[in-house]
Amino acid sequence: MLAKRVIPCLDVKDGKVVKGVNFVNIQDVGDPVQCAIEYNRQGADEIVFLDITATHERRGTMADVVFRTAENVFIPLTVGGGIRTPDDFRELLKAGADKVSVNSAAVYGPEIISEAAYRFGSQCVVVAIDAKCVGTEENPDSPRYGKKKYHVYTEGGRKDAGLDAVEWARKAEELGAGEILLTSMDTDGTKAGFDHDMLQAVCEVVRIPVIASGGGGSLDSFVEVFKKTDADAALAASVFHYGEYVVDDVKQAMRGGGIPVRIQ
């Protein structure tokens, strides 16, 4: 049986690790390569680097971080943040990334998903979705009538794209995405638990793996997300980054809760 995955995320700016809480209040800490090595040692199933650098030199710096990590860490590496073109995919895959995640650019030009899937294979195309509850679905013709309605936000969560998040996830799969990384902006940074309703709404419409993100806090929150939803993986940043507990603590808690996990 496939293991449910635990994925630490490292937010990287100008080659350094930071962690945004609710996307503001950024604190600079640590070398991403050393952090990745440490997470690998703790039993991470995969590592995500999220590049939040705003300048043009960004790609080269991030590619170098990936390159140096791939020399030392032998688990899948995913890189996202500011991906605009299939050539951005190529550069990061060449540097040693196994998957690349695309967010805003896919909302503005969904063909990047199909182009990247065609050129590099669906297995390396992750579509990251930042979403927020905007009320209740009021259209009686919608299959989600009366349920919570979610909108996709772009530009690091600043802009409502006016797009239904569940519908967008379904479309992303149809275009060739290999995985969905779903961040709930309602739970992100709260450490109060993952957004089970939002996750399950997406899990019900796609067959590709869904990574839960936003709200990972207590050890129990990682057990609950797999009991209450069909998510395949859970991603978290600050709980691991500030050493509240290590990845293996989460795995042991999951195992105790009857969730299949990989224990090193």
Partner 1 sequence: MIAVIDYGAGNLFSVHNALKFLGFENRVTADPGVLRAADKLILPGVGAFPDAMNRLRQAGLDQAIRSEALSGKPLLGICLGMQLLFEKGYEFEETEGLSLIDGYVDKILAPALKIPHMGWDEVEIVNPSPLTADINSGDRVYFVHSYKAVTAVSNINLATQYGQLVPALVSRDNVHGAQFHPEKSGGVGLKILNAFGEL
Q: Closest distance between partner 1 and the C-beta of residue 232, in Å?
A: 7
- Out of 45, 164, 188, 195, which residue is the one contacting partner 1 (CB under 8 A)? 45
- Out of 30, 37, 52, 76, which residue is the one contacting partner 1 (CB under 8 A)? 76
When asked if residue 25 is in the footprint of partner 1 (CB under 8 A), the reply is: no
Binding mask 183-212 for partner 1 (x = CB under 8 A): ------------------------xxx---
Nearest to 241, CA basis, from 24, 14, 18, 6: 18
- Quick check: is 31 catalytic? no
- Quick check: is 248 catalytic? no
Q: Which of 88, 130, 188, 232 is catalytic?
A: 130
Q: Which residues contact 188 (CB under 8 A, 6 or more apart)?
A: 22, 23, 157, 213, 214, 215
When asked if residue 121 is in the footprint of partner 1 (CB under 8 A), the reply is: yes
CA quadruple 93, 116, 44, 180: dihedral, nearest 10: 170
Distance CA 257, CA 254 (A): 5
Q: Closest distance between partner 1 and the C-beta of residue 72, in Å?
A: 7
Q: Closest distance between partner 1 and the C-beta of residue 76, in Å?
A: 5
When asked if residue 51 is in the footprint of partner 1 (CB under 8 A), the reply is: no
Task: Give the DSSP per-residue string, 122-187.
Answer: GGGEEEEEEEEEEEE---TTSTTTTSEEEEEEETTTTEEEEEEHHHHHHHHHHHT-SEEEEEETTT
Give me the residues that bind partner 1 (CB under 8 A), please: 1-3, 5, 40, 45, 70-72, 74-76, 93-94, 96, 98, 121-123, 178-179, 207-209, 232-233, 262, 264
